[in-house]
Amino acid sequence: MNWTGLLEEAMPKTFPEGLVERAIEGAAREVLETMFFTMVEEEAPEAGGGGEFCSAVAFSGSFAGRLEVGLPGESAREIARDFLGLEPDEEPTLEQVGSTAGELVNMICGTTLSHLDSEGVFDLRTPERIAELSAGGGAIRAELPLEHGILGVRFSTQ
């Protein structure tokens, strides 16, 4: 029996210091700017963060884990409006905002994983709506300032 293989599967994947943070930030910027037409601000807005709309996606493959995103309401509505091509005065429904948050977490996760392991093969589960970003330790967190709040991202491996 290969005990090393069993130990490697049971232990969380580790990365060089700073690599995951850079991958998350780069992936989030890339996805927000190209797919959601939303710019990451240089400074945090006065309106704080918050996770009125939170989504998570689990993944497995070269390594397994979970990525979560949390958005304040105004940011989530603006991103949904832009992504869906709605008029500036048109309000997206709660279902549209929730679905867009699911697309956002899915795209950020896939892009982050590609940055971390470009040769790896991963299976992303269906995104799910969650009440808030998980508080457990052992995860890497990132915050990206948007015009109307802060996008929170939490990444963990198993």
Cα–Cα distance list, 148 to 30, 38, 49 (Å): 18, 11, 8
Structural tokens at position 68: 């979560």
Mean pLDDT by 10 residues, the chain (158 residues): 36 79 95 94 64 94 95 94 94 96 97 95 96 86 90 93
Q: Could you give the CA distance from residue 54 to residue 61 in angstroms, rounded to a whole number?
A: 24
Whether residue 139 is contained in a domain is answered as yes
- pLDDT value at residue 50: 59
* 58 within 8 A of 52, measured Cβ to Cβ: no
Please state whether beta strands 65-71 and 149-157 pair in parallel, antiparallel, or not at all (unpaired). antiparallel
- pLDDT value at residue 157: 92
- pLDDT value at residue 15: 84
- pLDDT value at residue 44: 63
Taking every pair of Cα atoms in the chain, the longest distance, rounded to a whole number of angstroms, is 63
Whether residue 105 is contained in a domain is answered as yes
- Token pair 């780069």: residue: 26
- Total tally of structural domains belonging to the chain: 1
- For 49, the domain range is 15-157
The domain that contains 144 carries what CATH number?
3.40.1550.10
pTM of the model: 0.87
Chain mean position to CA 52: 15
Whether residue 99 is contained in a domain is answered as yes
- Token pair 């037409």: residue: 37
Phi, psi of 108 (to 5 degrees): -65, -40
- pLDDT value at residue 46: 57
Whether residue 8 is contained in a domain is answered as no
Whether residue 10 is contained in a domain is answered as no
Whether residue 7 is contained in a domain is answered as no
Whether residue 1 is contained in a domain is answered as no
Whether residue 128 is contained in a domain is answered as yes
